[in-house]
Amino acid sequence: MLDYADDLRTTVTRTAAALATVPSVVAARRPAAGKWSAKEIIGHLVDSASNNHQRFVRAQFQEDLVFTGYEQDDWVRAQAYQDASWEDLLILWRQFNLHIARVIEVMPEDVRLRLRSRHNLEQVAFRAVPADQPATLDYFMRDYVDHLHHHLRQIRDMGLPA
């Protein structure tokens, strides 16, 4: 079992259960003007899961790690996460990430660890990799889990049990 896949599974299961105790009206509070609410952060994490699931699967069948980006603020606004069902968002986020943990675990080690000299992780990764340095899909998947933890810390900073 891979440590970061296990971490992902444990984190989303524990956090989804804790956040399910938070009333929707509380989850919709924005900590400041221009900042996302917990609902919008979870919505963003659904978008991240959606985009990265595709990236992880496709990367197994291509020689590079070059991926299309997306405008996260536009996606959050366009999907109106602020007005979405809190319960539905948590279920979607949890289930999508449990599937991603499975995708990570069943990926062959040689595919995960293969060095790719061509990538755009300086643009799409949470913790950028310079374009002139090779990268692995393993690094990018770990980075996905780090990104998720970053946003859960933002929710905890709002005083919520993330």
pLDDT score of 11: 98
Tell me, what's the pLDDT at 1? 66
pLDDT of residue 23: 98
Per-residue pLDDT, 162: 86
Q: Give the whole-angstrom CA distance, residue 23 versus residue 152.
A: 17
DSSP letter string, the chain:
--HHHHHHHHHHHHHHHHHTTS-HHHHT--SSTTPPPHHHHHHHHHHHHHHHHHHHHHHTTSSSB------HHHHHHHTTGGGS-HHHHHHHHHHHHHHHHHHHHHS-HHHHH--BSSB-HHHHSSS---TTS-B-HHHHHHHHHHHHHHHHHHHHHTT---
pTM equals: 0.96
CATH classification code of 3-157: 1.20.120.450
Position 2 scores a pLDDT of 85
pLDDT digit string (tens) for the chain, length 162 residues: 689 999 999 999 999 999 999 999 999 999 999 999 999 999 999 999 999 999 999 999 999 999 999 999 999 999 999 999 999 999 999 999 999 999 999 999 999 999 999 999 999 999 999 999 999 999 999 999 999 999 999 999 999 998
pLDDT at 150: 98
Domain ranges of the chain: 3-157
